[in-house]
């Protein structure tokens, strides 16, 4: 359990006193003033509790704890002041979301009791967060596993597109992009409601007729509605809903949004999806780029520029033929895998996962399978992951 406590004050003797009195009960660190305190929080965090004096030169306790809230929102914040001013207390609680307000001089026993309460609050916050994260990861894994079983072609496309999206985001230097990568991985979830023959035509790059086009265009909204029910995935659901939206405002949903009003993740995903369709139809990288550049207004110019740069040089890889029991997570299938009767089990481009290995085992697949292995990868992953950060070829 995290029992780390940071005291911030502008008087060194006060900080030394806290250390002497409390070091047997907690892991105590100190900082001389607000600016030093912020450095410690950034460098040495996370702390379970941060206790700040109110009156400090340069940056008072309210300002300091408000900054701590931005940097480390899970850390419990407490205020220590030499006078009980009601207005100050109200301001501290409102701006810094203070857990407890203590008045100097604070008896050691009362301080210990307050810190123990703060540590328990921190435990509850982090335990709830961990539970939510595990629930979220489990929900995502269930969705992707179901998609891989119900519609291997849709899952294979999602896996290819996610890898391209990762490369585009790296090229564009987009930070905190996990939700965009996740949206790419879940972008085809709505295809469970689309007939297989329609998907076959789409993935082969064929132009759909009126009815089939209308049916296919429903899958982003279906995917959105499924994902929107999962807590903390609202932004992911929005990206999925707008994945077929043109930069000029064309395409679903018909809400008038265009240009930068469309979520960045959706603009990136649109480019990746259309590029994958063209490549799957047999076009070369240059032919695909040329075709997309002819579609004036359909794509964010900055994303097209990133696509041209990101696909200049394909990641280095080698193709091997391995037995099914030699498959390892992180490998990429270089061919479709079918049963002896011709039933499609999984498609090329899929990243090998624990679920996929079990699926091949259940269908008694014994023939060697051609796989793509990045040459830069010398270590085999021992655990399965929904979002992998390895680059891989798109074809």
pLDDT tens string for the chain (395 positions)?
789 999 999 999 999 999 999 999 999 999 999 999 999 999 998 999 999 998 899 998 889 999 999 999 999 999 988 765 566 666 666 665 788 888 888 899 999 999 999 999 999 988 877 777 777 777 777 777 777 777 777 888 888 899 899 999 999 999 878 899 899 989 999 988 888 888 888 877 777 888 888 898 999 999 999 899 887 789 999 999 999 999 999 999 999 999 999 999 999 999 999 999 898 888 889 999 999 999 999 999 999 999 999 998 766 667 788 888 888 877 888 888 888 888 888 877 777 877 788 888 888 888 888 887 765 433 333 333 334 333 333 33
* pLDDT tens digits, one per residue of 20-31: 999 999 999 999
Q: What is the pLDDT of residue 87?
A: 65
**3-state secondary structure (DSSP) of residue 181:** helix
How far are the Cα atoms of 38, 194, 276 from residue 211, in angstroms, in the given order? 60, 12, 23
Q: What are phi and psi of 6, to 5 degrees?
A: -110, 125
Q: What is the pLDDT of residue 387?
A: 40
Q: What is the pLDDT of residue 391?
A: 34
Element of type H or E holding 153 = helix 152-172
Element of type H or E holding 338 = strand 337-338
- Residue 250: count of CB within 10 angstroms of its CB: 12
Q: What is the pLDDT of residue 386?
A: 39
Q: What is the pLDDT of residue 148?
A: 73
List, in order of start, the domains of the chain with CATH numbers. Answer: 4-128 (3.40.50.2300), 151-313 (1.10.3210.10), 315-395 (no CATH)
Q: Which long-range contacts does 202-205 make (Cβ < 8 Å, 24+ apart)? A: 202/277, 203/153, 203/157, 203/277, 203/280, 204/280, 204/281, 205/277, 205/278, 205/280, 205/281, 205/282, 205/283
How far are the Cα atoms of 205, 228, 285, 295 from residue 281, in angstroms, in the given order? 5, 32, 11, 17
Radius of gyration of the chain (CA): 27
Q: What is the pLDDT of residue 10?
A: 92
Q: What is the pLDDT of residue 183?
A: 93
Q: DSSP per residue over 339-382, as a string?
A: -TT--EEE-TTPBP-HHHHHHHHHTT--S-EEEEEETT--S--S
Q: Sort 211 into a burial class: Cβ within 10 Å, 0-12 / 13-18 / 19+.
A: exposed
Q: What is the pLDDT of residue 86?
A: 61
């Amino acid at each position: 359990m995290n029992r780390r406590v940071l005291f911030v004050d502008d008087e060194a003797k006060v900080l030394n006193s806290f250390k002497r009195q409390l070091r047997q009960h907690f892991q105590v660190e100190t900082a001389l003033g607000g600016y030093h305190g912020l450095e410690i929080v950034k460098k040495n965090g996370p702390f379970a509790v941060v206790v700040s004096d109110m009156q400090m030169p340069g940056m008072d306790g309210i300002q300091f704890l408000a900054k701590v809230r931005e940097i480390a929102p899970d850390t419990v914040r407490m205020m220590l002041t030499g006078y009980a001013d009601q207005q100050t207390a109200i301001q501290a609680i409102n701006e810094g979301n203070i857990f407890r307000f203590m008045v100097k001089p604070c008896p050691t026993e009362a301080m210990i009791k307050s810190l123990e309460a703060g540590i328990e609050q921190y435990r509850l916050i982090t335990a709830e967060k961990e539970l939510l994260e595990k629930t979220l990861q489990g929900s995502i894994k269930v969705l992707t596993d179901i998609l891989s079983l119900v519609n291997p072609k849709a899952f294979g496309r999602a896996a290819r597109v996610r890898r391209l999206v990762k490369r585009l985001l790296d090229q564009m230097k987009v930070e905190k992009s996990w939700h965009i990568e996740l949206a790419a991985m879940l972008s085809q979830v709505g295809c469970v409601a689309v007939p297989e023959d329609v998907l076959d035509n789409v993935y082969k790059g064929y132009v759909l007729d009126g009815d089939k086009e209308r049916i296919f265009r429903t899958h982003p909204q279906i995917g959105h509605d499924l994902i929107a029910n999962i807590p903390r995935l609202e932004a992911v659901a929005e990206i999925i809903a707008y994945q077929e939206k043109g930069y000029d405002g064309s395409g679903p949903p018909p809400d008038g949004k265009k240009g930068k009003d469309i979520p960045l993740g959706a603009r990136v995903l649109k480019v990746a999806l259309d590029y994958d369709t063209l490549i799957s139809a047999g076009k070369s990288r240059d032919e695909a780029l040329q075709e997309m550049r002819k579609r004036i207004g359909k794509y964010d110019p900055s994303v097209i520029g990133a696509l041209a740069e990101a696909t200049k040089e394909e990641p280095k890889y080698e193709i091997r033929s391995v037995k099914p029991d030699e498959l390892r997570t992180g490998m990429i299938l270089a061919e479709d895998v079918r049963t002896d009767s011709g039933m499609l089990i999984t498609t090329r481009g899929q990243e090998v996962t624990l679920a996929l290995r079990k699926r091949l085992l259940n269908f008694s697949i014994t023939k060697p399978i051609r796989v793509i292995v990045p040459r830069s990868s010398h270590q085999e992953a021992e655990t399965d992951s929904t979002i992998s950060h390895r680059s891989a070829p798109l074809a």
